[in-house]
Structure 1
Amino acid sequence: MNKMEPEDPNEFCNFVGMDKSCYDKLLSFISDNICHKDTVMKESISPSGRLAVTLRFLATGESYKSLSFLHRIFVPSISHIIMQVCTAIRDVLKDKYLKAPTTEREWQLTADMFDELWQFPNCLGAMDGKHVAIAAPRSADSLYYNYKKFNSIVLLAIVDAKYWFSLIDIGCNG
């Protein structure tokens, strides 16, 4: 990561899916949650390295094996890193950036914004979902099977008129 930063900001952005200032800001928010100490046996992966692996995975959908070759990290470690970083991002940022309206006034502002920007009166949000294909756990083979004829977990999201997320649901069975 350090070699990529000074040479070409565009390459850095292409690699992790965000510019350097946004990356640094996100890293400052979550670094305490994803920092590990070095041991006698091995040097730990830096918070910056952990974030880079996770963002690369989220931006490209690369396989853990491919990420393993790219970052020189064992596949089992990559799976733990991605889960830990995603959890840290959610825990640290959810209250600040994922806030549904709670008062009647906030709901009214949301409806007014839809009417003003999209000429869609009395709308409180736009919802969409996605089936993410998974290998079903052995204990629940048919539980995740969906109408599209594959196993999945459903991602649902509601956004306001400016495309800001207000509600999400992750993990509903197929």
Structure 2
Amino acid sequence: MLTVRDTIAKRRRFLYMADALAIVEEQQKWLAEAEEQEKENQRGYKNYLRNIADLFQETVEKLTPRLQKQSTFMREPFQVGLKLAATLRLLATGNSDQSLQYGFRVEASTICKLIPEVCKAIITVYKDKVLRCLKTEEEWKEVAARLSSRWNYHKCLGAVDGKHIAIMKPPNAGSYYYNYKGFHSIVLMAVADTNYKFIYVDVGAEGYASDGGT
């Protein structure tokens, strides 16, 4: 015989599952709309996800073994495409988790856990092929030759620039991470070749440091 407590608990489980299924349907609808947008407006799709559809799908396939979770009795897992899209959108715009939750129908508390997971998977899958610094003299000479012929910069090994990545102030950090723009940050410094491809990246210098110091 069911008690009142059992009845309430059962009702809560039912409502939770109903809400979860509704959210999954909304997420699947978002992915379908994204695919439709790609067909109708490729430029807008690329601007939104900073990616073309074929490359996005290729990335999803490569990340799936590391990111796909198993279905359970209580809920369906988030699709890898949704995780990747939310991550790319955050990296491209710097939007907050609270802002992204409305676009992707995922709670902000969940998004903040998904982003590091997806970033780690991207690094693991692509680090040997993409995230590598040139090592041989011939590779650097090739970069210099392209910069010379295309941009008329002779004996140049790349274009250097930096960006302040906003962070929360670390404990007991004082002003080490407080930059001239008025917020706490770490510095991303990168070198790009003539095809706008990163050939060297350094992340983590304290925000107070100047370009020369970094």
**TM-score, length-scaled by structure 2:** 0.72
Deviations 1:117-151 (A, max 9, x none): 22222111111001122220233243312344431
Deviations 1:146-166 (A, max 9, x none): 344431110110011222110
- Return the alpha-carbon distance in structure 2 between the equivalents of residues 16 and 122 of structure 1: 35
Q: Provide the aligned length of Structure 1 versus Structure 2.
A: 174
Q: Is the 8 A contact 1:134 1:153 kept in 2?
A: yes
SS in 2 for 1:92: helix
- Change in 2 beyond 3 A, CA 1:114/1:32: same
- Return the alpha-carbon distance in structure 1 between the equivalents of residues 164 and 71 of structure 2: 39
Stretches of structure 1 that go unaligned for 5 or more consecutive residues are none
2:106 aligned with 1:73? yes
Report matched runs for 1:10-159 at 5 Å. 10=41, 12-159=45-192
Compare 53-62 and 140-149 and name the one that shifted more: 140-149
Query: Looking at CA atoms only, which structure, 1 or 2, has the larger radius of gyration?
Result: 2
Q: Is the 8 A contact 2:147 2:193 kept in 1?
A: yes
TM-aligned CA deviation for residue 85 of structure 1: 1.1
Q: C-alpha root-mean-square deviation of aligned residues, in Å?
A: 2.1
**TM-score, length-scaled by structure 1:** 0.87
TM-aligned CA deviation for residue 5 of structure 1: 4.3
- Return the alpha-carbon distance in structure 2 between the equivalents of residues 29 and 142 of structure 1: 41
Stretches of structure 2 that go unaligned for 5 or more consecutive residues are 1-29, 208-214
- Change in 2 beyond 3 A, CA 1:52/1:148: closer
- Return the alpha-carbon distance in structure 1 between the equivalents of residues 133 and 162 of structure 2: 18
- Return the alpha-carbon distance in structure 1 between the equivalents of residues 118 and 159 of structure 2: 28
2:36 aligned with 1:7? yes
Q: Percent of counterpart pairs with the same letter?
A: 38
Deviations 1:29-61 (A, max 9, x none): 212121222334332211111112112222333
